[in-house]
Structure formats: structure tokens, C-alpha cells
Amino acid sequence: MDEATLHDLDAELRAIRLDDGPRLQPLRLDKMFLRARQWHAANPRSYASEPLYRPPTPPKSAPIYPLPKPLLSQSKPEGKGKEREGKEEDVSPLSALFDHPELIPLVLDSFDQPRDLARISRVSKEWNRIARKKLYKHIWVRPWEDGCHFKLVLLFDTLHNHPALCRMVKRLDVRFFPLAARGEERSEMDDQVQKAMGEMDNLESLVWTRDRSINPSLFERIADLSHLRSLEISGHSYRYYDPSLLGTMPALEDLRIMMPDPNLKSKLVDVIKALSARPIGGLRGLGIICQSSSLIDDAILKTIASDLNKLKRLTLWGCTRVTTDGVFSILQAAGNEVEELSLDALTHSGLMDLSDSPSLPRLRTLSLSITVPHRDHKEMNHTISFFELPILPSFPSLESLHFTLSASQLFLPLAAYQQFHEQIQHPEKIRKLSLINLVIATDTLEFILEEYKSLEELYISVNSKTTILDSQGLIENGQKLEILHVNGPERWGPNSDDLKVIAGRLKGLQQVGSGNRVYEVHRTLTEEIDGNGNFVEDTQLCRWSKSWIPGYFQVWRA
């Protein structure tokens, strides 16, 4: 390309105009070709005989992101009777944030997503320190999330190479593990996990429920953690770990065992006794969750009851041999300490009648999974009566009440619930209420909202979406609700449009859902003005994006 051709091309490009608006940036083609001509003048060559050489590309500069317009600051005059011209300096409004470092944690508190924390950690060293500390405070691997295998491999590859990050972890949830990995891949992964776990000196809570994913070496590392207070673990211990090591954990307060096997059962009594003999005393929380097992029975509960005198939380699910004798013996030994009680009230267990239970003046949460007796098809009645509901004693501190009808759905009439409601001593204290598979109508819903003045979370089952859409009492008495979850038949239950209508009526609602769908409620002010002169509020539903598990999946029990 000779000088004349280059000049003609330059003239043609200069004639090009971009009229798409002021937001487009100029192409700066004049400077581009100026550099080309300067390079050509500095390197005269015969391009007919020599190959074409391209001009060097200028180095890439860091991207510049838009910031607020700078403030103009004028220096003050110095000296008496002397004046000087003020010197204008460009000062960004964002710089004030760095002058007050105590504001930085308050700003970062509004960030929850790991991807956001990873971005803002690049702002400065101080932001990096705070954001990274929050980013690694609670880490998890859950099987229902996309790319859980890839996430687990990358997570422990990072942790085992950076011990400083391990010491930031205070809560670790591992509910997935690639059991299909074999050979060197599995061996390398186990080594990384064990090394990382050994460096987590500040770990306080651990959930590791994936069956057959624990080995003896890993469990020894877990048992040596000096600050571990809460442990939820798979109970399949035979050939995988020694359950007796649970009794050696110095700070353990909450123990939750998923699907215990006979090997763990044989060590359970000694573990509870060893934990009780520590200077800090025994467990504050005990949970045993089975699908349907006869391993845990009244005899074991009576044996360990005396070593659970500091117990505050008790959960027994799926233990088919447990009755009131075993449960009441633990409650009696714990005295007035129990605050949470969650039980499977099977028909033969006698746990549907708690009227003779020991006094529980501090009980705040009661969760019962109830089962009605089998009914003859000829006398099939799809309504549950008051006599089939639990009988409760006086719980003066009760705040959360959860009932789940197991394996069926029955209609709960208003009259039956009103009779049950008379047992609740202080309904004005109830903040959470869950009625799963107990189908209610509009009149029962309005009665609940009228009686429970402080209700913040409500989980109910309905036959039709009209139960909530046609409820005037929901609008009048439900403005304090923060979470509303409405389960209904797929054909007649509420859809996302119905949930959006409900969220628009309940101004305090933050979370709404139906079935396994959970939405966040986002509200913004529009430019429209209503008849009262106020801006119209626009309500939108977004898919659940928080890092924690929604409330419905924490109270639901099959």
C-alpha cells in the first residue's frame, strides 16, 4: 500500500459519519492512521520487494469504569489580608468512603451472593480483606445446584493450597460428594479434603451427610477440630469411621445423625456419656433422623436421658419404636431447658397426646408430624376431626407451631381448628405457623390471621387458589406477613401470576411460594401517581437467589 493509496483511504474514512446519538464514542481513526504514517516514515522500505510489515499494536490499558462526576473543591486563602486564587482539585465522591473505614463493613453487609463478593474484593486491600472473610465464612456444596461436582473439586483444590482461607471458614455444608470417582482421582480428592479440613481451626458448624463419603482419616481430622460446636453427619459408620470419636470432640454442642446404622447405635450410649463428662457438660441439641427404622427405641432414650440434662433441642424422626416413655424421660431430665421439640407422632407412639409431658416453660418451637389411623374405604372421610389433632399442654413461650399430616391430605374444618386453638395459651406470641397437608378454607385462614396478631410466616395447604384470592381478611390482617407459602393442587392451586397479585396486596411480604417454587418479592416506585398523590408501587417476583435455604424447606416434613 503506497502513500497515495493510504491518503485516499484516509480521506474516505474521514467522510464517514456516525449519527446514532451522542452516546457513541468516536472511533479515533485519525490517530490510528497517524500512527501508521509515522511508522511508515520512520521505516522506509520497498514494499514491492519486501513482505508487508504491520505497525505494532499499542499495549492494552486497564478498562476505565464510569464514576460520579468529581466535586470541585477550592482551597482556602492563607494569611491575613492576602488572597490567592483558589486551586480547583478533582475529588471523587467515592473517596469519602475510604476516609471512613468503619462504613465499609456496613456497605458490604448488603452483598450476599458469592459472585458479588468476589468482584468487590478487587476494589482495595481493605475491601478484599472484608469481602474474602465474608465470602469464606459459610461455604457449601449442595446436590441440587448446577455443577456441584465441578464446584466441590475447585473448592477443595483452592482450600488445600491456601491454609489462610481455611481458617476463615466457620460453617461448611457438604451434602454432595462424587462417589463415582475412583483410583487416583478419588485418592487425590480425599487428600485435599483431609488437608483442608485439618487447617479449619475456626470451623464451628459442619454438615457432611453424603453417605459413604467419609473415611477414617477424614473423621479423625473432624474430631480434632477444637471449635466445632455443631455437627450433622451421615450415620452409616460401619467400615467408614469410628463413632466413638464423637465423644472426644471438645466443643460439640449439637449433634444430628442421619440414618444411623447398628454400628453407630452400639456406640451411641458411650458417646453421650463421654460428652456429658466434659467440663462444658453434655449436648444442647440432639437429632436422630431415620426414614423408618426400629434401631432407636425407648430403652436407648431412657439410658441416655440422665446425660442430657442440658438439652435444649430434641429431634426424633422416623424412629418407629419411640413412644412417650422414651421422649418424656429425656424431657424430664432436661428440666426447664428445652426450647425446640420436633417429633414423629405415630399412632401407636402416644405422642399425639402431650398433655402429660413434663413442664416445658421455655419451649419456643413445636413440630409434629402426625398420622391418622387407617380408614375403611367404605367409611372414607376426607375431613380430619378435632379428636384426631394433637392434644397440647400449656406452652407459655410458644412462638412457632408446625403440623405436617404424613402420607395423606385431609380437610381441616374451621370448627375443628377453633377447638384446637383453645389449647394455645398465648396466640399473640405465635410468629410462625405451618399446616402442611391439612387443607383449610378461607374462613379458617381468616380466623388464623385474626387470632395470631404477630404472625410473620405462614405455610398452608388449600384446595383452590380462591381460598387466598377471595380472602378480604388476608388483606386486613395479613400485612405483617413476611413469608407466605401456599400449597395447592397443580390444576387449581396458585400460579406465579396469582402469587404476584397476593404480593401486591400484602405490602410487608418478602417471600412467597407454592409447592417447590419460591420467589423473592421486589418492589419499586414508578412514575405514576395514584388518586392520593402517591407514587404507584410496582411489584415483581424473582426466582430465589439467596444463599440460604427458604423457610418452607426448613419446616416441611414428609
Q: Which amino acid is at 134?
A: K
Q: Are residues 312 and 378 in the same domain?
A: no
pLDDT of residue 56: 53
Joined together, the cell numbers standing for residue 441 give 378454607
Q: Residue 99: which region, alpha, beta or left (left: phi > 0; alpha: psi -120 to 50)?
A: alpha
**Would 145 be classed as within a structural domain?**
no
Of 310, 342, 374, the last residue of a domain is: 342
Degrees (nearest 5) of the Cα angle 422, 423, 429? 90
Number of folded domains in the chain?
A: 3
**Would 126 be classed as within a structural domain?**
no
pLDDT of residue 15: 52
| Structural domain boundaries enclosing 496 | 364-558
pLDDT of residue 247: 96
Q: Are residues 429 and 472 in the same domain?
A: yes
Q: Which amino acid is at 122?
A: R
Q: Are residues 385 and 330 in the same domain?
A: no
Q: Are residues 439 and 403 in the same domain?
A: yes
pLDDT of residue 82: 44
**Would 80 be classed as within a structural domain?**
no
* Residues in CB range of 242: below 8 A, 6 or more apart: 216, 219, 267
pLDDT of residue 180: 87
Q: Phi then psi for 16, rounded to 5 degrees? A: -75, 130
**DSSP-derived secondary structure for 460-496:** EE-SSTHHHHT-HHHHHH-TT-SEEEEE--TTTS--H
**Would 192 be classed as within a structural domain?**
no
Joined together, the cell numbers standing for residue 305 give 436421658
pLDDT of residue 9: 56
Burial-class residue 387 by CB neighbours within 10 Å (0-12, 13-18, 19+).
Answer: exposed
Q: Are residues 427 and 558 in the same domain?
A: yes
pLDDT of residue 444: 96
pLDDT of residue 79: 47
- The rounded distance, in Å, linking the Cα atoms of 448 and 427 is 9
3-state SS class at 241? coil
Q: Are residues 528 and 403 in the same domain?
A: yes
pLDDT of residue 282: 95
pLDDT of residue 99: 67
pLDDT of residue 244: 96
Q: Are residues 337 and 463 in the same domain?
A: no
**Would 119 be classed as within a structural domain?**
no
- The rounded distance, in Å, linking the Cα atoms of 418 and 314 is 28
| Domain of residue 445, CATH code | 3.80.10
- The rounded distance, in Å, linking the Cα atoms of 279 and 484 is 44
| Domain of residue 303, CATH code | 3.80.10.10
**Would 357 be classed as within a structural domain?**
no
Helix (H) or strand (E) holding 233: strand 230-234
pLDDT of residue 146: 82
Q: Are residues 374 and 337 in the same domain?
A: no
Q: Which residues of 294-306 are buried (b: 16+ CB within 10 A; e: fewer)?
A: ebbbbebbeebbe
Is pTM beyond 0.95 here?
A: no
**DSSP-derived secondary structure for 271-295:** HHHHHHTSTT-S-SEEEEEEEEEEE
Task: Let me know how many helices (H) and strands (E) the chain has, helices first.
Answer: 19, 19
Helix (H) or strand (E) holding 535: strand 535-543
- The rounded distance, in Å, linking the Cα atoms of 301 and 331 is 10
Of 307, 342, 377, the last residue of a domain is: 342
Residues of the chain with pLDDT under 50: 17-27, 46-54, 65-68, 71, 73-88, 558
Q: Are residues 399 and 526 in the same domain?
A: yes
Q: Are residues 329 and 404 in the same domain?
A: no
DSSP state of 411: E
Instruction: Give the pairing type, strands 517-529 and 511-514.
Output: antiparallel
Q: Are residues 529 and 417 in the same domain?
A: yes
**Would 129 be classed as within a structural domain?**
no
Q: Are residues 556 and 424 in the same domain?
A: yes
As a whole number of Å, the end-to-end CA separation of the chain is: 78
CB 336 within 8 A of CB 360: yes
pLDDT of residue 84: 43
CB 473 within 8 A of CB 455: no
**Would 87 be classed as within a structural domain?**
no
